[in-house]
């Protein structure tokens, strides 16, 4: 068993934020992830945020299943300047984890 982690990418296209960006305070954004099983079934998706380089805190922890999952996360940035790192982590049944993140600079 080679322990291959799941595949995950940010959704691109109109209306989606899919990479690091500079945004105004209290902005509403949509971040989408597309997740595919590579070896074992998907079981969990965690969304967390870290403000200004501090430790991250969980925003959403979802039980998922199957071989393909698409998830849209509405994000409202803080009303103050700083950085927000949005972190998406998916886990499969064997405990393999894939993490993708993007950083929003609020100014």
Mean pLDDT of 13-20: 98
- Hey, what are 99's tokens? 């993490």
| pLDDT band, residue 2 (cuts 50/70/90) | confident
Predicted structure pTM score:
0.96
Let me know if 60 is exposed, middle or buried by CB neighbors in 10 A (0-12, 13-18, 19+): exposed
Which DSSP string do the residues of 67-96 spell out, in sequence order? SEEEEEEEEE--SSSEEEEEEEEEEETT--
Q: Compute how many other C-beta atoms are within 10 angstroms of the C-beta atom of residue 6.
A: 23
According to CATH, what is the number of the domain 7-106? 2.60.40.2550
Q: Where are the domains of the chain?
A: 7-106
């Amino acid at each position: 068993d080679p322990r291959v982690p799941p595949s995950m990418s940010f959704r691109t296209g109109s209306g989606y934020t899919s990479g690091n960006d500079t945004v105004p305070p209290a902005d509403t954004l949509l971040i989408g992830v597309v997740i595919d099983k590579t070896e074992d079934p998907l079981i969990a998706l965690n969304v967390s945020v870290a403000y200004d380089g501090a430790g991250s805190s969980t925003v959403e922890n979802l039980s998922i299943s199957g071989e393909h999952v698409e998830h849209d996360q509405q994000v409202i940035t803080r009303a103050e300047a700083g950085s927000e790192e949005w972190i998406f982590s998916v886990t499969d049944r064997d405990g393999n984890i894939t993490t993708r993140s993007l950083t929003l600079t609020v100014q």
